[in-house]
Structure 1
Amino acid sequence: MIKKTIQATLLGLACTLVFVGQAAASNWQQESGKITHQEKLRGTITPERKWWDLSHYHLDVKVDPQTKIFSGSNTMTYQVVAKGQRLQIELQAPMKLEKVLQNGQVLKVEQDGYSYFITPISEQKIGSEQQVVMYFSGQPMTAKNAPWDGGITWKKDSNGFDFIATSNQGIGSSIWWPNKDHPADEPNNGVLISVEVPEHLMDISNGRLIKIEHNKLAKTKTYHWQVVNPINNYGVNINIGDYVHFGEKYQGEKGQLDMDYYVLRENLAKAKKQFKDAKRTIEAFEHWFGPYPFYEDSYKLVEAPYLGMEHQSSVTYGNGYQNGYLGRDRSSTGPGLLFDFIIVHESGHEWFANNITNKDVADMWIHESFTNYSESLFLEYHFTQEQAFEYVRGQRMNIGNQSPIIGEYNANRGGSGDMYDKGGNMLHTIRQVINDDKKWREILRGLGKVFYHQTVTSQDIENYISSQSGIDLSKVFDQYLRDIRIPTFEYFIKNNVMKIRWGNVVEGFDMPLRVTIAGKTQWLAPTTAWTVVELEQENPRISVDANFYISTLSVLGN
């Protein structure tokens, strides 16, 4: 997802300018206060979630634009992996869970907030496959400021046709359909999405369109979309409007990728020009991250009545057919206007968010930090490394450093909005530490391969990068993910002696640093204790590589 920004300020520290931004709230801004009972139910892998593993959803829903009512059923298939008595699912008010059936029998359902506990009647034998059918209806929550607050967006296009879309990262997909609303478990065999809409409109959802059924009596038609790969719940989406379609083929690393575009009729000409960035994005990210993760489900870019979201194989777009982020460069450096931010950023999430998904939303940095950094990688692939590096450095102006990037576990609480720009700069800094562009690319591609279609923890990602780089980066991750301070490189020079150390850091922080002393580039190895470096000349000029996200504090001797 994208982040709302930005009012930036400049803070001078010693002889170095440090960029400090006011990070605006997003869906994943860290929350404060006591964790509520509902947050625990939603955010924890409870005993009622642990004993069964999702296999498949068939979401069958009718959308009535006049009444704004969603109604239908979700047939949930699951594997029994341990002994258990009740299934936990979620459905948020004002939506109502009307009844639940298994093998044609009505099941007992107990409600606790918006969590529901279903008691099967039949034996839940370990290793068996089971199904429940959940019937639901209601007027789902309307989004006030999609996609940040989540909900349904109800708009009209310029011709007066309904233009409707779902977006529910953060608040959860359970605002409009009943499901196991925890990111740790995805349906292994995907989802079938059947959406009934008025005859004159189209529905575009995830995966491939397998058929359209017409109901002449009701003057409606039902679109059936099939996803065969695992999919995160918040990635399941509905887009309804007076769409027109065009597409192209991309010969990628795994063969031919179908790329389909659905836009409002009035925007077809603009889309055919602007959506050229889609193919360029796939090309760049296959280079850096490996094959597009969902060839079987295709790639779609779909116009939406809000800014955009990373819905798996159904990326939504509302950036006004212009480069930048709503026409401006978030980095304030210039290169951000060389590409369409929403196409690049949201498509980058196909690798980080949809292919590799966090097990707990506290680790949402895995989604947003890598995708923020992918914008710079796009620039490096299609333009120059200098522009790419300038872009990622410029994003430091958006960083707040007011709360940690990692949130609270088992509470459905994400971390700070700094997971975007600070997270991207953390990865850029780690690239400098590794100091081997070939190895860095191998690590990025390796993540996509090793954790293909998996849910992961922060520790999984941290350990992999450390092991593959051959460098213990644990303290670097601790500093940037779990602390709010910017590491300060402190140095003192007098005559031919320089004393150095890291300040403002976690215990044991020992990140190597590239500097230029008297015109000669070299590496230093500061720790939290003062160490001495012998100099070749008295009081030389020193500069720190700007690609490290740090501050400096110096004292120059006589």
Structure 2
Amino acid sequence: MNRRTPAATPLALLLALALLGAGCTGGVEGTPGAAGLRDPYFPGLGNGGYDVTHYSLKLDIGPSADDKRRPADEKRPADDKRGPADGTSSPSAQPSDRPADRLRGTATITARATQDLSAFHLDLAGLDVESATVEGRPAAVNRAGKELIIRPGSAVEDRLRKGRTFTTVVRYSGSPQTITDPDGSKEGWLRTADGAVALGEPTGSMAWFPGNHHPSDKATYDIEVTVPDPLTAVSNGELISRRTEDGRTTYHWRTAEPMASYLATLAVGRFSTHQSATPDGIRLFTAVDPESEAASEEVLDGIPAVLAWSAEKFGPYPFTSAGAIVERTGDAEYALETQNRPVFPGPPDTALLVHELAHQWFGNSVTPKSWRDMWLNEGFATYAEWLWAADHDDVPVEESFDEAYEDGANWAFPPAGPPSAADISEAPVYGRGAMVVHRLRLAIDDDEAFFDLVRGWTETHRHGNASTDDFTAYVEEETGEDLTELWDDWLYGESRPPVED
């Protein structure tokens, strides 16, 4: 679960500011929205001056121009080999290895201005922008690295006043990029043997649609994806419709609850799909690569049980749909808690399923305000694994804690203070983050009160954002305790604190 990309370069930001300064005459009154939100690890990520409320994406996906000369289902030569998971082709690869190489998209972005805007930015890596409109009127478009700068004309200036809602439409196309994170892992658009999968934590979603790509700006989504038969397109939320015409099928997915853009996903390929519902009425949709189907069946059949168990621990399930996307082994490097249905890089085991489904509460519903708060996602999801092992595998939580405590990798840095963007998915964020949760449980010394506290946390910040400071303040207010020593030792401390025998 390692997912990062470098922030915009200083040169790119300077170019952006220069472009914004040019041509101000005759534009909308106000000031440009910021080119970044100064995230502690990705200062150029996200944009200021507006808050997105809804994305409507219409995507047409297919092979490259050369690929179209061959039928989509034509077999490859026997000596042909699939390229690596980062989307690069091996020397012997044929065009049909890239059936999801090209994307043509229309992004309709509904947003509310948080200041009087004269211009604003969208994050977009690569891809060619053909046009943009704001409130139906043509807008000037400039590029500076991963920054897309939109300058509306004066005719729509009233719609860009603080508090007003406006709609931007961007038409774009190209071959989506695979992004390499600071730690060397891959995200963005990952080409697979039979299609592609889009993974976005923390910045990869900018590889396939323009937006405000920071976790603090959550929105609802409609994603319509057209793919050539026999491919299937799977995304977040619920499948609203499916229609086929002239050998191409359009899938319409809707996410009605707010979602951070890094949790948006799109998987294109040949999948075995299954729809059902839990006894509580949660709609389930699973999509499994045929090569992974047999080995995944038993674990995926356990999704309703894991959701019911998790709801007892963490509160009501925060969404109306759930499920999973299982690729073949090697199509991705890690599992990711994409909203409603996590993506797995091959058949998962139960512990991994528990971890990724716990993220639906911790990370997806209660989303971090910045990437410094990632331990709130991973610490609670790891602790969910410990709780499951205690309830189902006769492994006491204390034993899981002791194992993590003795693992030197968990003490490389404090979970609330990774030293760089390359470290936000490293062991302390997971293992020591879970230790923070367990030490809190011991400090409360009352399991009923502890789980009431956890359920209250997920309810208080349901479908919102929260920071580490929000969490510590919430805990102390609810418990009436000063827990400074606990936070100093376990959350922020540089050294391994002693524990009682």
When the two structures are superposed, what TM-score results if normalisation uses the length of structure 2? 0.79
Quote the Cα distance in structure 1 between the aligned partners of 2:4 and 2:383.
Answer: 18
Map 1:257-272 to 2 at 5 A: 257-272=282-297
1:299 to 317, 322, 328: 322
State the 1:416 CA deviation. 6.4
**Inter-partner Cα distance in structure 2 for 1:469 and 1:97:** 52
Residue matched to 1:232: 260
Q: Determine if contact 1:364/1:414 at 8 Å carries over to the other structure.
A: no
The CA deviation at 1:266 is: 4.4
Q: 1:248 aligns with which of 262, 266, 276?
A: 276
C-alpha contact (below 8 Å) 1:403/1:416 kept by paired residues: no
Equivalent residue for 2:311, pick from 266, 281, 286: 286
User: Residue in 2 aligned with 1:206?
Assistant: 236
What is the letter of the counterpart of residue 345 of structure 1?
Answer: H
5 Å-filtered alignment, 1:42-53, equals 42-44=36-38, 49-53=47-51
Structure 1 distance, partners of 2:63, 2:398, is: 46
C-alpha RMSD over aligned residues: 3.0
Specify the SS of the correspondent of 2:285.
Answer: strand
Taking the aligned partners of 2:170 and 2:371, their CA distance within structure 1 comes to 26
**How much does 1:398 deviate?**
5.9
Contact 2:369 2:467 in 1 (8 A): yes
Equivalent position SS for 2:117: coil
Report what 1:403 is aligned to: 413
Unpaired segments of 5 or more residues in structure 2? 14-33, 66-100
Contact 1:407 1:413 in 2 (8 A): no
Distance 2:9 2:425 in 1: 16
Letter of the aligned partner of 2:51 in structure 1? D
Q: Deviations over 1:20-71 (max 9, x none)?
A: xxxxxx4369x9x999577994442899944322110001112224461222
Rg larger in 1 or in 2? Answer: 1
Q: Is the 8 A contact 2:132 2:141 kept in 1?
A: yes
Determine the structure 2 residue equivalent to 1:328.
none
Provide the secondary structure at the position in 1 that maps to 2:173: strand
1:27 has 2:25 as partner:
no
Contact kept in structure 2, 1:405 and 1:416, CA below 8 Å = no
- CA positional deviation for 1:153: 2.1
Contact 1:147 1:309 in 2 (8 A): no
Work out which of the residue numbers 197, 208, 221 in structure 2 matches 1:191.
Answer: 221
Q: Secondary structure at the match of 1:92?
A: coil
Correspondence for 2:251: 223
CA distance in 1, matches of 2:480, 2:228: 58
In the alignment, which of 113, 127, 130 is matched to residue 145 of structure 2? 113
The corresponding residue for 2:116 is 83
SS of equivalent to 1:140: coil
SS at match of 1:308: coil
Report the CA distance between 1:286 and its aligned residue. Answer: 0.3
Return the alpha-carbon distance in structure 2 between the equivalents of residues 451 and 414 of structure 1. 26
**How far apart are the structure 2 equivalents of 1:176 and 1:197?**
15
Query: Residues of 2 paired with 1:199 and 1:48: CA distance?
Result: 36
Amino acid at match of 1:243: F
Q: Is the 8 A contact 1:38 1:113 kept in 2?
A: yes
- Which structure's residues are more often helix, by fraction? 2
Does the CA contact (< 8 Å) of 1:28 and 1:414 recur in 2? no
Superposition deviation, residue 319 in structure 1:
4.0
Name whichever of 446-455 and 79-88 sits farther off.
79-88
Q: Is the counterpart of residue 92 in structure 1 residue 133 in structure 2?
A: no
**Structure 1 portions without partners, runs of 5+:** 3-25, 157-161, 324-339, 490-543, 546-558
State the TM-score, normalized to the length of structure 1. Answer: 0.71
State the alpha-carbon separation in 1 of the partners of residues 168 and 4 from structure 2. 32
More strand by share: 1
Question: Counterpart of 1:170 in structure 2: which amino acid?
Answer: P
SS at match of 2:496: coil
Identical residues among aligned pairs (%): 23
